[in-house]
Structure 1
Amino acid sequence: MDPHLLRTFVTVARHESFSVAAHELGYTQSAVSQQIAALEADLDVLLLRRRPVVPTDAGRRLLEHAGAILLRLDAARADVRRVSGGQPVELRVGISPMADSGRLVERLVEVQRSMPRVAVTVSACGADEVAAGVARGELEIGLVDGVTAPSDPLRVVELGTFTTVVVSESPLVVVLPRDHPLAARGVLRLSDLADARWIDAPGAAVPLARLRVVADGFRSGLRYDGAERSVLLAMVAAGGGLAVLPAPVAREGVAAVPLAAPALVHRTELVHGSLTGPAAAIVAGLGFGVR
């Protein structure tokens, strides 16, 4: 299967338009049509209906595989470039919103001072985006975070032959208004809180979708699409709802009660491929243990 044809198919399916896909890819519409026809001939199956442009059952099944296939190809290409290339003049780092980034940021500053010609760029985005950016070679280093059982890996996109380094693990706490009836409890269980009103803040707290995996309920009150913890805590203090956050949490007007069950932790992990130059210096100086 030609990966160029597969990428064209994914683009057409995403836009549900041959003309829009052609504009994005820099081809003529006729060239895009020919590439889709060539892929269908190779697989001997119709992948897209033309009016309207929607995937067939076979097309939808191919789309389930296509993302992982293209990501692995991008990862292989990026890894080869890293091994064979010279020292980069730019160091690109991705950090997910709730990652424990203190030690990495300190090390970035140290290395940038010792290598002033290296431009350091830090981007904030979701954990899956960071991991995919590292895999594609768009980022040299990624810092991802998430909630998991103590013995389980984080649920991020598959990276293939990449190195994962544990940076930190923190217990979780339930954050409530100081005057909430449960604020004086020594510990709380998620099953006791399923009927409470929650703030859905996927960038600043444990996402409600993750909590619903381990317990029923969790109706959303307010939604916060930002990543500033101070804003979220102000919403909790005002009675907007509850939230689950990594410890520690300190703010006037809120209480942070340890989460006893289920057994979950907030983990930050460093991910990278083959390292050279400034990226290698960063990781070597951190002193984290490789998993």
Structure 2
Amino acid sequence: MDLRLLSSFLAVVEEGHFGRAAARLFLSPPAVTQHVRRLETDLGTRLLHRTPVSPTPAGERLARHARTLLAAADAALDDVAEADPAPASAAGRPLRVGIMGHGSAELTPASVNAFRRARPHVAVELRQLDFTEHVSALVEDRVDVAFVRPSPDDDRITSDVLTTEQRIVVVPESSALADARGTGARLADIADLPFFRVPGRTPRSFTEYLYFGSTARRRSTDFALTPQEVLTGVVTGRAAGSGLKSFARYYAWPGAVFVPVLDAPRDSSYLAVRTADRNPEVQIFRALTLALAKELGPRISE
């Protein structure tokens, strides 16, 4: 039996409301509804009365078993962790979560909060990463997991796709390209934009992502290491930036205009971890994030 379905069902029983259960689980209400329906189909019986929301006799019995099964699953995770403990250097320390820019949009806080609920005894530290760190922060053991883009090109790092989105450019309102905010532009239209520069130590995969794969694009005299520095350059008319579509929801600065690039390949955000890391908390965080990505990722990618 799928434990995710049981978790959604039990949340609805305990909250007495599909919407509150969805908020508690950081899922959409339709996803929770679908989980309950799948359980009812699998078991061949109705588990919940809908108006008002309350368990049927069969649902009451399942709720008792669900609590036992979910508790057993948590105990199994703890037991496995004890049998194959993390290296001494990782034992007892916080889980350090690196976030580049806005990470994977709404999925980032949902993953962090889901981990905190699942592992309340493990402290979590959030660390902001700049454009040069999407490989080095993990390799140098400054973070344990990282929300980055694009995928790090390094055998020491394993990454999973979380969201896949349309690409955008960011220009000042005074730019002629600003009029294309509603209709979109093409790669040929952005060839002469003065894109900001990044330091020489920035991984090549990241610079190719920033400049849409063309190192020949015109560069501003301004350097930037963070989205805030990019936007400062944009609104003062000194540089242009690029990103994923969700960037616009998180960095809606006055004076900055976000223009879709219609013929640029869609790109992704990733969760990256050290390939050889045996820390069970890292594996739990990764599993929770991938499960949430299946639920939230398609909505973010629209």
> What does residue range 1-291 of structure 1 map to in structure 2 within 5 Å?
83-85=84-86, 88-90=91-93, 91-97=95-101, 99-100=103-104, 102-112=106-116, 115-125=119-129, 129-131=133-135, 134=138, 139-146=143-150, 154-159=151-156, 163-185=158-180, 186-200=183-197, 207=207, 210-211=210-211, 213-214=213-214, 216-225=216-225, 227-229=226-228, 231-248=229-246, 249=248, 250-273=252-275, 275-286=278-289, 287=291, 288=293
Of the structure 1 ranges 83-92 and 189-198, higher mean CA displacement relative to structure 2 is found in 83-92
> Matched residue pairs, number?
195
Q: CA distance change for structure 1 residues 137 and 101 in 2, over 3 Å: closer, same or farther?
A: farther
Equivalent position amino acid for 1:263 in 2: P
Matched-pair identity in %:
18
Question: Matches of 1:179 and 1:126 in 2, distance apart?
Answer: 28
Question: Matches of 2:91 and 2:253 in 1, distance apart?
Answer: 42
Q: CA distance change for structure 1 residues 118 and 263 in 2, over 3 Å: closer, same or farther?
A: closer
Q: CA distance change for structure 1 residues 136 and 212 in 2, over 3 Å: closer, same or farther?
A: closer
Q: CA distance change for structure 1 residues 214 and 264 in 2, over 3 Å: closer, same or farther?
A: farther
Q: Residue 37 of structure 2 aligns with which residue?
A: none
Normalising by structure 1, we get a TM-score of 0.53
Contact kept? 1:190, 1:262, Cα under 8 Å: yes
Q: CA distance change for structure 1 residues 279 and 172 in 2, over 3 Å: closer, same or farther?
A: same
Equivalent position amino acid for 2:124 in 1: V
Q: CA distance change for structure 1 residues 219 and 103 in 2, over 3 Å: closer, same or farther?
A: closer
Q: CA distance change for structure 1 residues 134 and 187 in 2, over 3 Å: closer, same or farther?
A: same
Q: What are the ranges of 5 or more consecutive residues in structure 2 without an aligned counterpart?
A: 1-82, 295-302
**DSSP-derived class of the 2:288 partner:** helix
Contact kept? 1:131, 1:271, Cα under 8 Å: no
**DSSP-derived class of the 2:239 partner:** coil
**DSSP-derived class of the 1:183 partner:** helix
Contact kept? 2:114, 2:288, Cα under 8 Å: no
Q: Can you list the C-alpha shifts for 1:57-89, whole angstroms capped at 9, x where unaligned?
A: xxxxxxxxxxxxxxxxxxxxxxxxx95547831
Question: Matches of 1:246 and 1:209 in 2, distance apart?
Answer: 10
**DSSP-derived class of the 2:262 partner:** strand
Whichever structure has more strand as a proportion of its residues is 1
Contact kept? 2:167, 2:265, Cα under 8 Å: no
**DSSP-derived class of the 2:261 partner:** strand
**DSSP-derived class of the 1:239 partner:** coil
Q: Can you list the C-alpha shifts for 1:81-131, whole angstroms capped at 9, x where unaligned?
A: x95547831223333345326434443344345545433233333577454
Deviation at 1:167, TM superposition (A): 1.3
Q: CA distance change for structure 1 residues 158 and 128 in 2, over 3 Å: closer, same or farther?
A: farther
Equivalent position amino acid for 1:94 in 2: G
**DSSP-derived class of the 1:284 partner:** helix
Deviation at 1:259, TM superposition (A): 0.9
Question: Matches of 2:265 and 2:102 in 1, distance apart?
Answer: 19
Question: Matches of 2:139 and 2:84 in 1, distance apart?
Answer: 14
Deviation at 1:145, TM superposition (A): 1.2
Whichever structure has more helix as a proportion of its residues is 2
- When the two chains are superposed, the root-mean-square deviation of aligned CA atoms in Å is 3.7
